[in-house]
Amino acid sequence: MSYDHDGPLFPSPRGPVSAGVKGYLLDNGPLPRPETVAAADPYGDDLQIALYLSYELHYRGLAGVSPEREWDTDLLRTRAALEHRFLTTLRADTAVHDSVEDALGDLLVEPVEGSGVSHFLREEGELWQVREYATHRSLYHLKEADPHAWVLPRLTGRAKAGMAAVEFDEFGGGRPDRLHARLFANLMTDLGLDTTYGRHVDAASAEMLATVNLMSLFGLHRALRGALVGHFAAVEITSSPGSRRLADAMRRTGAGPAAEHFYDEHVEADAVHEQVVRHDVIGGLLEEEPHLAPDVVFGIEATGHVEDRFAAQLLDDWRAGRSSLRTSQLSEISHIS
């Protein structure tokens, strides 16, 4: 059996479920028992890191794990149980609008007095908080467009063309130096952070892991293609105004030119993407498959739900004067102390 040597290093387990998944991947033990999975907190560290490990086999693999594990039937059975626990809870906890138009309408309305993370960082955030935010978000942005690409073979016509057009921009328009993941790595370099893919999983909270796992969950399942399109719409529509605030935060805190550029780039690009996603991707999908409208709404709402939980965790920690990271000191995850 061959093994990956260059994949990301394993993050530490956070409980019996993730310890069992890690042990199985490294040929050191059995998978967690079904009753152990069923008892895990669907939003908790243990389940979320176990899901992350399972999903990472579909991206760049993990160091010391055979590529054959990607389609290991026993592991897929355990992953399905983890997904069921997470997805069932999301469906129960997510308030769903009556229509796609209503869900999109709420996304397009900016509150007069915003109170989210981008508002906090723009108005009062300090450089250490900007660095923590980048550390968390690296799990998302260093693979940002990859799970969205999985939906392309599941779309047709106008939806496929629109999705491909936006993805082409996300992947740099054919230029490797313009890949959005590369631009985020440049931002991290400005902030003195290690840009190695997967380096900061141990530092990230369960709330952050859930936002990353959500797009993998939607992307990997054809049955959830409508939810993936809804997720994509939520990301693109809310990105431009949020990126404007974050660009201001980068300038105010002296984060560096690459950090400023990453968010400046998204202000302009995602304003265009918003129109394409609304009119071509969603419009084209529902023209071909109108029965997927509730799934699109769920994708929008579930994205907002997990992002709101992540924002609440960050702001609770920062307003209490403590680090939002699971590591004890920021210097542990950076190049500079």
pLDDT tens column, 37-46? 999 999 999 9
Band (pLDDT 50/70/90 cuts) for residue 331 is: very low
| Residues 199-204, mean pLDDT to the nearest whole number | 95
pLDDT tens column, 33-69? 999 999 999 999 999 999 999 999 999 999 999 999 9
Determine the pLDDT at residue 81.
98
Q: Which is nearest to 301 in space by CA: 138, 48, 105?
A: 105
pLDDT tens column, 300-321? 999 999 999 999 999 999 999 9
Give the whole-number percent of the chain exceeding pLDDT 70: 93
What is the maximal distance between C-alpha atoms in the chain? Answer: 58
Task: Determine the Cα–Cα distance for residues 155 and 261; give it in Å rounded to an integer.
Answer: 32
Position 144, amino acid: E
Instruction: Indicate the pTM of the whole model.
Output: 0.92
Band (pLDDT 50/70/90 cuts) for residue 273 is: confident
Give the whole-number percent of the chain exceeding pLDDT 90: 79
Task: Determine the Cα–Cα distance for residues 53 and 110; give it in Å rounded to an integer.
Answer: 36
Band (pLDDT 50/70/90 cuts) for residue 1 is: low
DSSP assignment string, 60-96 = T--TT--GGGGG-HHHHHHHHHHHHHHHHHHHHH---
Band (pLDDT 50/70/90 cuts) for residue 284 is: very high
Distances (CA, A) of 191 to 95, 187, 234: 37, 7, 27
Distances (CA, A) of 269 to 79, 167, 216, 243, 320: 35, 11, 23, 10, 35
Determine the pLDDT at residue 217.
98
Helix or strand or coil: residue 151? coil
Band (pLDDT 50/70/90 cuts) for residue 332 is: very low
pLDDT tens column, 225-270? 999 999 999 998 888 888 999 999 999 999 999 999 999 988 776 6
pLDDT over 70 (residue 7): no
